[in-house]
């Protein structure tokens, strides 16, 4: 594993929805080795901790990484002020385990809200063999639909209030999809409540499932042990660490709070 | 690199005074993906207990103005794993190895120190100041009697240099330092984190699941400098200074206050290369100021 820390130019910056930003960063040595599901840790001026942001898409030919993030607090607010042409200080690629895509042919790829961006890199791997289900609160929060369509995947959009796509949750759409086809694997990123239900449905249908988790992070590399998440390891409960042991876990490893 | 940064600290030779702090650096494996560990004066490894510990429920970290709170709660694989798996790896890295140990009971401290006695660790740092565990830890470190009793027990089972890591959450840290010196400590390190709290005003919940946790980062630096100064004036044993150091200038300041060596913790999270950049900065400082050795500045603050 090799980690790189450096300041890289922001080639483009767009606003995708209210408080959701899209940046393309020129960092060939990182793009070369980055994997689906990994993340970059962004330095923000005036803050002690970096902000871990998932990689949305990897273009090895152009040497670029794309990140899409939501303003959640003061740090991401400051980060959103970075402009096209400016440099962004990142440590990357981080995440000991990304999505393991290689051994599968067909996949259902699920993203909920701001958990949607990392699923684009996965969808790009599967192309027409992928089915993308993404869910958002309402039409105003919808992002990345054209990108998902351009991968060739069947795309299903859901919103909680029905203001765009189907009304309902991604898990309703997942059940409908599974009624007509059985993929080799399900990949998902989103809120815990969504992941928990996706895992249940995958288990009921006997389909392998990988989920990307989130937790407050410190070092981002596995040294400080703050980003603990409950897992099962060798039959015992174990606090794994999202940054190094994940952020992607096999469904059967993950434990959620009661 | 010149040897103008070299130091003999409590009988142990370090090539420079920069040591990543316990808890911020694991067992070094992760940071080896950035730079060779031989760059560092030493490594204070993750606090190690008698048996494996799972640590506290997450969230375990909260950002605060110029700093951060943590409540990891000593998650670690236990002393046997450290000796069998981590130590042999560290031993090949050409840097000083400081084993950081913690226990819930005096017996646990003794047991761990005994197990380390015939190993290759260069020094034992005894954590009597962890604010994040229910038993032991800071409970020993906040009274002179408690601190002295753990020092005495560890001292009785090891010939290795013993460094007691002191808590700042006390009325008079110099008195604690004197108490551990009297029981045969070879050095003291300070400060561990300051107990703090952060509340999410939307949910009325503390960010940390443990409710409270240890504050570190630049916010605590002036407190650390003050305490290093007070302690180095009170004891004859050498002092390892830490708390909020993020730049070479901070190291110079901490050394002027009386520290011979320093540890770097939270700064690693902002910049994993912080220790390397600090070492480079100190090299320049020594040469620009025509010093024979950086140790010449230790304790040279001129108080009013």
The domain spans of chain A are: 4-94, 107-253
- Which has more pLDDT, B2 or A127? A127
Evaluate whether B70 touches B213 at the Cβ level (below 8 Å). yes
Are B269 and A50 a contacting pair at CB < 8 A?
Answer: yes
Cβ of A216 within 8 Å of Cβ of B207? The answer is: yes
> Per the CB < 8 Å rule, is A5 touching B273?
yes
Task: Please tell me the distance in Å from A4's CA to the nearest CA on chain B.
Answer: 7
Whether residues A1 and B54 touch (CB distance < 8 A) is answered with: no
- Picking from B34, B64, B72, the nearest residue to A225 by CB comes out as B72
Contact check, Cβ <8 Å, B269/A5? no
What confidence tens digit (pLDDT) does each residue in B63-115 have? 999 999 999 999 999 999 999 999 999 999 999 999 999 999 999 999 999 99
Note the pLDDT of residue B134: 65
Task: Domains for chain B: give ranges and CATH numbers.
Answer: 7-56+72-193+216-297 (3.20.20.70)
Task: HSE, CB side, 13 Å, CA atoms: give it for residue B253.
Answer: 16
**Which CATH number fits the domain A107-253, given the four candidates 3.40.630.30, 2.40.10.10, 3.60.15.10, 3.40.50.80?**
3.40.50.80
B68 contacts in chain A (CB < 8 Å):
48-49, 218
Nearest in space to A187 (alpha carbons), one of A249, A108, A132: A108
Across the interface, of B55, B58, B272, the residue whose CB is closest to A91 is B272
What pLDDT is attached to residue A256?
86
Are A244 and B273 in contact (CB < 8 Å)? no
pLDDT confidence bin for B129, thresholds 50/70/90 = confident
Q: What residues in A contact B62, CB-CB < 8 Å?
A: 216
CA distance B282 to B248: 6
HSE, CB side, 13 Å, CA atoms: give it for residue B56: 22
Report pLDDT for B121: 97
pLDDT tens digits along A12-70: 999 999 999 999 999 999 999 999 999 999 999 999 999 999 999 999 999 999 999 99
B55 vs A47, A216, A225: nearest CB: A225
Contact A240, A233 (CB under 8 A): yes
Interface check A47 vs B, CB under 8 A: yes
User: Residue B1 pLDDT > 60, yes or no?
Assistant: no
Cα–Cα distance list, B19 to A52, B25, B143, B215 (Å): 26, 10, 27, 19
CB contacts of A1 in chain B (<8 Å) are 33
Confidence (pLDDT) at A195? 97
Residues contacting A220, CB < 8 A, separation 6+:
A39, A41, A50, A52, A91, A94, A243, B269
Local confidence band at B137 (pLDDT 50, 70, 90 cut-offs): low
The H-assigned helical ranges of chain A are 28-33, 74-79, 118-126, 145-150, 170-180, 192-204, 242-245
Q: Which of A10, A5, A109 is nearest to A69 (CA)?
A: A10
Whole-number pLDDT of residue A16? 96
Choose the mutation target among B270, B271, B276 for the interface with A, i.e. most A CBs under 10 Å.
B270
Class of domain A4-94: mainly beta
CB-hemisphere CA count at 13 Å for A147? 21
The interface residues of chain A toward chain B in range 14-43, judged by CB-CB distance below 8 A, are 43
Give me the residue label for tokens 């980003």.
A227
Domains A4-94 and A107-253 share a fold: no
| Catalytic center residues of B | 130
């Amino acid at each position: 594993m090799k980690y790189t820390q450096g300041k890289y130019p922001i080639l483009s910056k767009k606003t995708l929805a209210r408080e959701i930003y899209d940046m393309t960063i020129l960092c060939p040595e990182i793009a070369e080795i980055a994997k689906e599901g990994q993340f970059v840790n962004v330095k923000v001026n005036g803050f002690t901790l970096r902000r871990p942001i998932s990689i949305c898409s990897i273009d090895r030919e152009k040497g670029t990484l794309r990140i899409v993030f939501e303003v959640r607090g003061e740090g991401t607010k400051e980060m959103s002020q970075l402009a096209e042409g400016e440099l962004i200080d990142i440590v990357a690629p981080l995440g000991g385990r990304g999505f393991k895509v290689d051994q599968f042919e067909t996949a259902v790829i699920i993203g909920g809200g701001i958990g949607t961006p990392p699923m684009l890199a996965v969808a790009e791997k599967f192309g027409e063999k992928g089915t993308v289900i993404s869910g958002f609160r309402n039409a105003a929060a919808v992002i990345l639909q054209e990108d998902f369509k351009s991968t060739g995947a069947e795309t299903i959009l859901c919103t909680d209030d029905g203001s765009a796509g189907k009304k309902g949750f991604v898990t309703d759409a997942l059940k409908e999809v599974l009624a007509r086809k059985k993929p080799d694997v399900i990949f998902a990123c989103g809120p815990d409540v969504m992941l928990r239900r996706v895992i249940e449905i995958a288990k009921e249908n006997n389909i392998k499932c990988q989920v990307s988790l989130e937790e407050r992070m410190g070092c981002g590399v596995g040294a400080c042990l703050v980003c603990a998440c409950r897992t099962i390891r060798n039959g015992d409960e174990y606090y794994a660490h999202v940054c190094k042991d994940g952020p992607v876990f096999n469904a059967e490893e993950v434990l959620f709070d009661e | 690199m010149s040897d103008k940064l070299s130091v003999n600290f409590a009988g142990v030779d370090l090539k420079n005074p920069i040591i990543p702090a316990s808890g911020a650096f694991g067992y070094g494996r992760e940071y080896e993906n950035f730079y060779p560990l031989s760059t560092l004066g030493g490594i204070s490894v993750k606090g190690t207990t008698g048996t494996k510990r799972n640590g506290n429920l997450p969230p375990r970290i909260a950002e605060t103005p110029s700093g951060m709170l943590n409540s990891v709660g000593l998650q670690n694989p236990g002393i046997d794993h450290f000796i069998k798996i981590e130590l042999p790896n560290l031993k090949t890295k050409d840097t000083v190895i400081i084993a950081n140990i913690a226990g819930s009971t005096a017996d646990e401290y003794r047991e761990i120190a005994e197990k380390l006695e015939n190993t290759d660790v260069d020094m034992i740092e005894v954590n009597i100041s962890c604010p994040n565990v229910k038993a032991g830890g800071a409970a020993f470190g906040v009274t002179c009697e408690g601190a002295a009793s753990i020092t005495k027990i560890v001292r009785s089972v090891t010939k290795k240099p013993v460094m007691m890591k002191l808590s700042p959450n006390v009325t008079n840290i110099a008195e604690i330092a004197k108490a551990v010196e009297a029981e045969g400590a070879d050095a003291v390190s300070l400060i561990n984190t300051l107990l703090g709290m952060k509340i999410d005003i939307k949910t009325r919940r503390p960010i940390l699941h443990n409710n409270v946790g240890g504050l570190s980062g630049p916010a605590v630096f002036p407190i650390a400098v003050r305490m290093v100064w007070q302690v180095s004036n009170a004891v004859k044993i050498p002092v390892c200074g830490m708390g909020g150091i993020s730049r070479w200038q901070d190291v110079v300041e901490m050394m002027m206050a009386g520290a011979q060596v320093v540890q770097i913790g939270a700064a690693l999270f902002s910049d994993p290369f912080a220790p390397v950049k600090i070492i480079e900065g100190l090299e320049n400082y020594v040469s620009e100021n025509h010093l024979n050795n950086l140790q010449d500045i230790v304790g040279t603050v001129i108080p009013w």
